[in-house]
Amino acid sequence: MNLEAAQITAWLGQFLWPLVRVGAMMLVAPVFSNAAVPMRIRVLLGVALTVAVMPAAGGAPALDPLSAAAVVLAAQQVIIGAAMGLLVAMAFQTVVVAGESISLTMGLGFATMVDPQSGVPVPVLSQFLLVILTLLFLAFGGHLVLIQLVAESFRLLPLDAGGLAAEDFHTVVAFASTMFSGAVLLALPAMAALLMINMIIGVMTRVAPQMNIFSVGFPITMLSGFVILLTLVLPSMPQRMSAIWRQAFDTIRQILGA
């Protein structure tokens, strides 16, 4: 059997262009981009997902992989995949922002560790909430919804349909407001309760000036913070975060033109 260069290029494009979009999503989206997962496993997962979504991708444009048009097409697929992953990543950053706010109020702002997903130092409380959030995301099947959206993206925004529109970039940036508002709503009960406790400690120091505020106030604030975290913040996190995830997935469908 004789194979022509055009046939080989067409077969390569049917796998290469979906791989670019899937790979860009996996480089940005939480869980898939976790540095704790070996790179070899992530590469194999990306190839497996690409093979799974290839039927939904349909026919790929017949382009020379080294041409300028191929570079433009690859950039478009990277932007589409990265935008999908970024929206989910911003939803995950909600608990990081909330954890930083609670940590500062509790007096734990100095206790930080490196986040394996982002590679930047975050408070220990934020990392704790992020681990719980990752487990909730997997338990709710969020990773399966994201994979389904990637497969649907090839139907809603085919390979030869061009990239995202200008208003889609504004939509992605505007979703950051959802991240901050969700963080405020998640951390508000703890911050309000800790503020009242700090006010009470302040009144106590005025009534009894000889009391050492550092030896008394810090343990009370920290202990109260953990109690409030277990009784107010953690029970409300599944409901609030599931709503933010739904908004993130709806925003993905919006930029894809669903």
pTM of the model: 0.85
pLDDT at 119 over 70: no
d(CA 30, CA 88): 7
The pLDDT of residue 6 is 58
Q: How far is CA 119 from the centre of its chain?
A: 14
Of 57-66, 161-170, 180-189, minimum mean pLDDT range: 57-66
Three-state SS for 245?
A: helix
Residue-level length of the chain: 258
For residues 173, 178, 184, 189, the Cα torsion angle rounded to the nearest 10 degrees is: -170
DSSP result, 129-177:
HHHHHHHHHHHTTHHHHHHHHHHHHHHHS-GGG-S--HHHHHHHHHHHH
Q: pLDDT band at residue 24, thresholds of 50, 70 and 90?
A: very high
46-81 confidence digits (pLDDT tens): 889 988 888 777 766 666 667 787 788 888 889 999
* Burial track 229-258 (b if 16+ CB lie within 10 A, e otherwise): beebbeeebeebbeebbebbbebbeebbee
The helix (H) or strand (E) run that includes residue 236 is: helix 234-256
Nearest to 49 by CA among 81, 76, 80, 72: 81
How many C-beta atoms surround the C-beta of residue 19 within 10 A? 20
d(CA 237, CA 214): 31
Backbone CA torsion sign across 44, 18, 71, 165: negative
pLDDT at 12 over 80: no
Beta-sheet strands, E only, within 69-125: 112-114, 121-123
Residue range 223-247: mean pLDDT, rounded: 89
